[in-house]
Structure 1
Amino acid sequence: GQMIEQQIRDRYATVHECSDLNSELRRFLGNDFAHTFEEILSKSKKIWPGGFETDLYDDYQLLSPSDFGFHNTLLTKDGLKFIDFEYFGWDDPVKLTCDFLLHPGMVLTNERKNIWVRRTKEIFSDDNCFQQRLSASYGLYGLCWCLIMLNVFLIDRQSEKNITALEMSDIKAKKLEQLEKSKKMLLHLNEFHKNGLPYE
């Protein structure tokens, strides 16, 4: 739990540094995001199994590709082949479960998401705390994704000096689009905070 919290704090600080030129981003981070973060973090700490600061035993971790998706695969005659293992490593299967549900590139119906959660719970049924960790960490991983979607704001000012007016217009449009996506994700996380995990 503590590692996810630190990742959120680090990402927040990085994006916040770039918010001085965008009042809408600054308001979103300072008001909406910060408030939701504190609420979700407080609840996560209360329900985290075995203590929020405790590392997950190796026996409950799995080798995970982490950044999986069709953007990192090739279709061959034998099926799909993963080609990007940059973030591959040992991890909590709950993170894999959450990332699949939350990744902005995954356009899945609630029915498909329910199937995913049901099947992962079956696969990891020997892990008695899987469901508890899923409920405790879903909101935190969602907050990470809110911030990842704002990476477009991290273009450094030196690079901006070399960008044409047309490119700058495209970047501004992309920033607005990503901010709206992040806001939408935050609304989803507020619903989760009030009503619990929306998937079986």
Structure 2
Amino acid sequence: MSAPASIQLDLHIQHWIEAQCGQSIEQVIPVAGGKNNQALKIVTGRQELFFKQYFADDCQRFQRETEFVQLLNQHNIDSVAQLIGSEQVAKHKRNDHEYALFSMLPGQMPTQAHISKALVLQAAQFVAQINQPQVQQSATHLLNARGGLATAQDFIDEIPKRLEGFKAIEAISKDEELLVQALLEFLNGDFTQAFEQAKQQAMDYFSDQLTQPFERVLSPSDIGFHNTLFDASTSKLSFFDFEYAGWDSAEKLITDFFAQPRFDIAPEYLEDFIATAFHASSMQQQARLLKHCQVLLPLAHLKWALIFLNEFKHHDSQRRAFAASGLSSQVSPQSSSPISSPICEQASNSGIKDSEIEENHELIELIKRQQQLVKAQKRIARLF
């Protein structure tokens, strides 16, 4: 098997990394899998490091992640990476140059076959660790989690808010017209029907407590096994991706974990997850939290179905393209967007015409959107 191809860094970024770690860079390898940012494995003579450049938008990804990781590092929570250094160079109001350097975590992303009660409880233990009283007391400076939901009414309102973003969707090609039509039929049909049922269930249970704030906890926000690495030699999980982290409700944290799309987690683990993650709470508090999550889980599944469908939105496609484009020497220190991706460069060097590259790209994007629509439809079909 051939060694992974090394790419050339912009000199400004290269000098910054070498200054942070005190070593010369020997190899730079793109890391696949991230959907929102660009990531690289940095190989020096003594260690491997993880470098991340953040997509410039209004989500404050850089601030949320670096502050959250710093907090956990300060409290010796060893299941996350060490933050070695971070850099933020403001250029324009919405186009900061932001990147960070972390230690490399051990292991590989788990597969569905790895998912067991033991791993689910490891995730719950991580939640318990980050919510120790001493950690919470030193986290008052952290932002609220991105996309946080503080009340049952927030869970309900989240769905119409996300649906609003699909009203202006138009087909960008003739090939996509039928797919967009199928999307809108699904949203106006089965999805809306499922939402009405989930909303009524929540309204019936919470009644006059719909706007009563839930207890706040520290949350990674995008919590799930898709943001973990499993070390087979120790059977331990490491956790990463805290771009949305901050203060949130326990209900939002738990329902996200059980509704996240990449892994099926048995609902019978819910009670044990709560008992482990919030073991400091009374039995009565745990029982109430369990019932809250059982009632709100359908709304969380509906939300994730809409997240599947974000590929239909132009801005989300731009962010995914940024994450896939790499950090070659063509990335200017003054620009958060690369000029071209390694894939396009390789195709160009192979003599493939630009028009053929564009056609293939459009076909791939079309297939992705179709796959996401099918996933969303399957998820909704299982709800009621």
TM-score normalised by the chain length of structure 1? 0.78
In 2, the alpha carbon distance for the partners of 1:75 and 1:185 equals: 26
Distance 1:182 1:19, change over 3 A: farther
What is the CA deviation profile of residues 50-74 of structure 1, one whole-angstrom value per residue up to 9, with x for unaligned ones?
6112211xxx332111213344345
What residue number does 1:25 align with?
183
Uncovered stretches (5+) of structure 2, i.e. residues with no partner: 1-151, 172-176, 319-354
What residue number does 2:211 align with?
53
Of all paired residues, the percent bearing the same amino acid is: 28
Amino acid at match of 1:82: F
Determine if contact 2:271/2:290 at 8 Å carries over to the other structure.
no
* Matched ranges for 1:125-164 at <5 A: 125-127=283-285, 128-155=287-314, 164=358
In 2, the alpha carbon distance for the partners of 1:186 and 1:23 equals: 18
Of 104, 124, 140, 2:261 maps to: 104
What residue number does 2:220 align with?
65
What residue number does 2:202 align with?
44
What is the CA deviation profile of residues 155-186 of structure 1, one whole-angstrom value per residue up to 9, with x for unaligned ones?
26x97xx9811111111111111001000110
1:185 aligns with 2:342: no
Q: SS at 2:238's partner residue?
A: strand
Q: Which has the higher strand share?
A: 2
What is the CA deviation profile of residues 51-99 of structure 1, one whole-angstrom value per residue up to 9, with x for unaligned ones?
112211xxx3321112133443456798543232111122222222222
Amino acid at match of 2:303: C
Shift of residue 121 of structure 1?
A: 3.6
Shift of residue 119 of structure 1?
A: 1.0
Determine if contact 1:12/1:147 at 8 Å carries over to the other structure.
yes
Amino acid at match of 1:87: Y
RMSD: 2.6
Uncovered stretches (5+) of structure 1, i.e. residues with no partner: 191-200
Q: Which has the bigger relative contact order, CA under 8 A and spacing at least 6?
A: 1
Distance 1:135 1:83, change over 3 A: closer
Amino acid at match of 1:181: K
Amino acid at match of 1:29: L
Range moving further from structure 2, 174-183 or 12-21? 12-21
In 1, the alpha carbon distance for the partners of 2:371 and 2:161 equals: 23
Q: SS at 1:120's partner residue?
A: helix
1:82 aligns with 2:229: no
What residue number does 1:13 align with?
164
1:168 aligns with 2:362: yes
In 2, the alpha carbon distance for the partners of 1:31 and 1:49 equals: 27
Distance 1:38 1:107, change over 3 A: closer
Distance 1:43 1:107, change over 3 A: closer
Q: SS at 2:296's partner residue?
A: helix
What residue number does 2:270 align with?
117
Distance 1:43 1:70, change over 3 A: closer
